[in-house]
């Protein structure tokens, strides 16, 4: 390892393309699986300066980079990596912040392997440049310096924008609009800001200090965050418009947990992943009784589902001391979770029951979970999603003794906001209908983005939607058509890249 680092550190002369390609991808230091399974500290520990510089020197600085187009917000990736390679992390973070407000978050939770890193030219023959890890390095470097550098804030526009939800879409939109000189107020239903970053993603994957720091950054740009404010209850959208908001961005997230509709689901000891994670993350139940909120894990936990949320729930239950069994109806290839998360879960000792589906949950006389009945599945013809449809194997039922079951099979839209806004157009799943290019809803001056529009998706997609929403709101408030005219295209090119 050390000689490779030396090679990267030479810095005296420009490395040739061949030399750059010869450097292997720099691994991220991690806590040992056994050790981390017993704590809530962050799993990955970040690059040292040396490792970051080595990894950055693997970037070919392509003339026509593919990675930029692979990024949902269009970060100038070669430029920020070049700055790291030249040992100038300040320039790297400045470059990142031209496009993303939250590099410390994106660097940790973006599925880079499906985005920028998937199309990295180095990755064609070798492993791609570790773009996400380098992004995190630059962000963490800045955090270690103390106060974050602030971008220039335009002079006040005298217009007020209300943003519903302080998750990734809402925070991004707020940050962009505050920079443009709008007066921004974010309304958050919970008692802490951050949305899914705060209640959903566990501490060991995204420390809450980082989330709160990013929220403070948005506040430092001039945005106000009002907590304990449930739009649709405490105030309706119409009341927001009457109350001096010139435009509104709805980013209230995916909402209601979905259950499987199998017998026994309302037994004690059956939880939605949302409940389990909210107790652990937002309410800090892992520190009960120092914190008041309790959490039940028992000795043996079944987690049903194969997404990132299922992995988060499983790994949280493991850290609370349980023996964890993950039950997923398709095979590993079809799991929607990130590779890295699946890999970490396996390393930590989560037991996977693939091609297996629960059929019922059996309780004891006191109404507590005792067993889960599962059936084996096989993959049939591809379904609408293009993935092969799992079909039950008749007569293959078996039972697993279990103390707690966590259901993580998705979410549907939360009705609170839409019940209170009967004139807003919704699709058949109850998601808000928004123009795909402008995010305009059926209500004048109201825009919507993130999971409330798309259904559950990724943090970076929500951030992308926040940017588009901000651009549309800016145009709306300046009296411009929401879609740029063809002659404006040049001037708007930078904004468009954000899509």
Partner 1 sequence: MYKILEKVDYSDDTYMQVIEAPAVARTAQAGQFLIVKLHEEGERIPLTIADFDRDRGTVTIVVQAIGKTTRELQTYAAGTSLSNVIGPLGLPSEIENHGTVICAGGGVGVAPVFPIARELKKAGNKVISIVAARTKSLLLWEDRMKEVSDEVIVTTDDGSCGRECLVTEPIKEMCEEGDVSLVYAIGPAIMMKFCCKTTEPFGVKTIVSLNSIMVDGTGMCGACRVSVGGETKFVCVEGPEFDGHQVDFDLLMSRQRQYLEQEKIAYDYYLECRGDKACLT
Residues in contact with partner 1 by the rule CB under 8 A: 189-191, 199, 227-230, 233-235, 255-257, 259, 265-266, 268-269, 271-272, 274-275, 278-279, 283-284, 288-294, 296, 366-367, 414-416
Q: Measured between alpha carbons, how far is residue 75 from residues 93, 131, 191, 438 in Å? A: 11, 11, 32, 20
Helix (H, G, I), strand (E, B) or coil at 300: strand
Buried b (16+ CB within 10 A) or exposed e, 448-457: bbbbbbbbbb
> Quick one: 278 or 461, whose CB is closer to partner 1?
278
499, with CB counted inside 10 A (0-12, 13-18, 19+), is middle
Closest CB to partner 1 among residues 260, 482: 260
Nearer to partner 1 among residue 57 and residue 272 (C-beta): 272
For partner 1, the closer of residues 417 and 448 by Cβ is 417
Nearer to partner 1, 101 or 414 (CB): 414
Closest separation in Å from C-beta 459 to partner 1: 17
The region, left, alpha or beta by phi > 0 then psi within -120 to 50, assigned to residue 181 is left
CB 80, CB 138: distance < 8 Å: yes
Q: DSSP states of 28-64 as a string? A: PPB--HHHHTT--S-SB----HHHHHHHHTT----SS
Give the containing element (helix H, strand E) for 91: helix 89-99
Backbone dihedral angles phi then psi of residue 442, each to the nearest 5 degrees: -75, -5
Nearest CB to partner 1, comparing residues 226 and 483: 226
In angstroms, give the least distance from the CB of 431 to partner 1: 15
Cβ distance to partner 1 smaller for residue 300 or 412? 412
Min dist CB 409 to partner 1, Å, is 12
Residue 460, class by beta-carbon neighbours within 10 Å (0-12 exposed, 13-18 middle, 19+ buried)?
A: buried
Are the CB atoms for 377 and 306 separated by under 8 Å?
Answer: no
Query: Rounded to the nearest whole angstrom, what is the least distance from the CB of residue 392 to partner 1 in the complex?
Result: 23
| Least spacing, CB of residue 113 vs partner 1, in Å | 29
Q: How far is the CB of 364 from partner 1 (least distance, A)?
A: 11
Nearest distance, CB of residue 238 and partner 1, angstroms: 12
The Cα 421–Cα 424 span in angstroms is 6
In angstroms, give the least distance from the CB of 429 to partner 1.
15
Residue 313, CB-side half-sphere exposure with 13 Å CA sphere:
34
For 164, the 3-state DSSP assignment is strand
Question: Least separation, in Å, of the C-beta of 335 and partner 1?
Answer: 23
The residue among 187 and 476 lying less far from partner 1, judged by its C-beta, is 187
**Closest distance of CB 347 from partner 1, Å:** 29
Q: What is the Cβ-side half-sphere exposure of residue 430, based on CA atoms within 13 angstroms?
A: 14
Question: What totals of helices (H) and strands (E) does the chain contain, helices first?
Answer: 21, 16
**By C-beta, is 243 or 437 nearer to partner 1?**
243
How far out from the chain centre does Cα 498 lie? Answer: 17
Cβ-based nearer residue to partner 1, 10 or 292? 292
């Amino acid at each position: 390892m050390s000689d490779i680092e030396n090679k990267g550190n030479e810095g005296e002369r420009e490395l040739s393309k061949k030399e750059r390609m010869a450097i292997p991808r720099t691994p991220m230091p991690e806590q040992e699986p056994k050790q981390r399974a017993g704590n809530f500290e962050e799993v990955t520990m970040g690059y040292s300066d040396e490792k970051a510089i080595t990894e950055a020197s693997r970037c070919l600085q392509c003339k026509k980079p593919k990675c930029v187009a692979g990024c949902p917000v269009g970060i100038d990736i070669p430029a920020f990596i070049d700055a790291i390679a030249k040992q100038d992390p300040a320039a790297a973070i400045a470059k990142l912040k031209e496009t993303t407000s939250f590099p410390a978050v994106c660097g940790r939770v973006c599925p880079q392997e499906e985005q920028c890193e998937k199309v990295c030219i180095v990755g064609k023959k070798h492993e791609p440049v570790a773009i996400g890890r380098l992004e995190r390095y630059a962000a963490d470097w800045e955090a270690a310096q103390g106060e974050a550098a602030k971008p220039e804030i335009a002079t006040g526009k005298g217009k007020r924008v209300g943003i519903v939800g302080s998750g990734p879409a809402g925070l991004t939109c707020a940050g962009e609009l505050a920079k443009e000189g709008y007066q921004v107020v974010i309304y958050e239903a919970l008692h802490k800001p951050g949305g899914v970053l705060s209640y959903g993603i566990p501490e060991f994957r995204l420390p809450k200090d980082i989330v709160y720091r990013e929220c403070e950054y948005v506040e430092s740009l001039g945005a106000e965050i009002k907590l304990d404010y449930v739009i649709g209850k405490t105030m309706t959208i119409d009341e927001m418009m009457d109350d001096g908001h010139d435009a509104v961005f709805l980013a209230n997230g995916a909402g209601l947990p979905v259950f499987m509709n199998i017998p026994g689901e309302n037994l004690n000891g059956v939880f939605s992943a949302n409940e389990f994670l909210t107790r652990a993350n937002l309410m800090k139940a892992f520190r009960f009784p120092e914190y008041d909120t309790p959490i039940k894990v028992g000795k043996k936990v079944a987690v049903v589902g194969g997404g990132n949320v299922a992995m988060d729930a499983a790994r949280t239950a493991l850290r609370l001391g349980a023996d964890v069994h993950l039950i997923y109806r398709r095979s590993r290839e079809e799991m929607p979770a990130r590779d890295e998360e699946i890999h970490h879960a396996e390393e930590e000792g989560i037991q996977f029951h693939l091609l297996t589906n629960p059929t019922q949950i059996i309780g004891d006389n006191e109404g507590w979970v005792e067993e889960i009945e599962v059936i084996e599945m096989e993959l049939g013809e591809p379904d609408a999603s293009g993935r092969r449809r799992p079909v039950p194997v008749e007569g293959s039922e078996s039972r697993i003794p279990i103390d707690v079951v966590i259901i993580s099979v998705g979410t549907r839209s939360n009705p609170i906001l839409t019940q209170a806004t009967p004139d807003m157009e919704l699709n058949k799943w109850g998601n808000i209908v928004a123009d795909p290019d402008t995010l305009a809803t059926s209500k004048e001056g109201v825009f919507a983005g993130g999971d409330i529009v798309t259904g559950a998706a990724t943090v970076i997609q929500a951030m992308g939607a926040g940017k588009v929403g901000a651009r549309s709101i800016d145009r709306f408030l300046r009296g411009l058509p929401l879609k740029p005219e063809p002659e404006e295209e040049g001037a708007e090119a930078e904004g468009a890249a954000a899509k």
